Amino acid sequence: GSWSAFRNAGWVLYGVSGTFANAVLALGGWIVFRRSVGTRATAALVGWAFFAVNAWIATMYLIASPTFGFGDWMAVLDRFAARGPVRASAAITGLFIAGLLWQETGTSLARLVGNGSVEDRTRRAAVLTKVIWLASGVIAIAGGLYAPAGWARGAAIGMGTTLGSTWPILLAARRVGEKPVPGTPLEIPRSPGVIVAGAIAASGFIALLGPGLRID
């Protein structure tokens, strides 16, 4: 059958599987980053991007959904009789995770950009985070334009889910100069293979978020 991230809104499985997918991508990105940082610059950068974007999307969603009463996780929370305390507990849990994630985002970004002067490290971190933040937003919005829920709603959801959830990534760039880290400054070699792989990955995410994948 067909599947799309913006299809079948309100289903319990939809809400759980969406957050689970973000969590799996974040964990996978974190593992790739930890194994590659300091040795394989391109892999470390890609891993950190997957970790930061997906971790913040899942965490912000866990906070916003029970707090404001929207989103597919409400289909899960509404099944409890004491939905008020359950919603409060979910939001508090999200805030606790956000605190831990805030520390890890800044620490891992500092390791990613490597050594150098405070000004140089901060500049490189700012460039990386802006590119990652904007790229994830553009991909999500582009996918939303083709979503079964309608282009306007899909684009709005894509914008809120990415640009509205991952803004802490931008703030992390200001913290990389707080403590020096070992290693050489980050250098990403320009490679046609990496560019092609990035274009294919972006197309795949647009397909998942938009028209969906059909498995016959």
The per-residue pLDDT for 203 is: 73
User: What is the number of structural domains in the chain?
Assistant: 1
pLDDT higher than threshold 50 for residue 101: yes
The per-residue pLDDT for 17 is: 56
The per-residue pLDDT for 5 is: 44
Between 9 and 203, residue with greater pLDDT: 203
Task: Please choose, from the candidates 84, 109, 90, the residue with its C-alpha nearest in 3D space to the C-alpha of residue 168.
Answer: 109
215 to each of 2, 147, 148, 212, how far by Cα in Å?
7, 17, 17, 10
Task: Please choose, from the candidates 79, 41, 193, 185, the residue with its C-alpha nearest in 3D space to the C-alpha of residue 122.
Answer: 185
pLDDT band at 207 (very low <50, low <70, confident <90, very high): low
Which letter, b or e, does each residue of 26-44 get, where b requires 16 or more Cβ atoms within 10 Å of its Cβ? beebbebbeebbbeebbeb
CA atoms lying within 13 Å on the CB side of residue 65 = 25
pLDDT band at 184 (very low <50, low <70, confident <90, very high): confident
The per-residue pLDDT for 143 is: 79
pLDDT higher than threshold 70 for residue 158: yes
Regarding pTM above 0.75, the answer is: yes
Backbone angles phi, psi at 214, to 5 degrees: -110, 125
Between 207 and 188, residue with greater pLDDT: 188
pLDDT higher than threshold 50 for residue 46: yes
pLDDT higher than threshold 70 for residue 49: yes
47 to each of 26, 82, 97, 187, 204, how far by Cα in Å?
8, 39, 20, 15, 17
List the domain range (segments joined by +) for residue 143: 2-214
The per-residue pLDDT for 72 is: 62
pLDDT band at 169 (very low <50, low <70, confident <90, very high): very high
Contact 173, 128 (CB under 8 A): yes
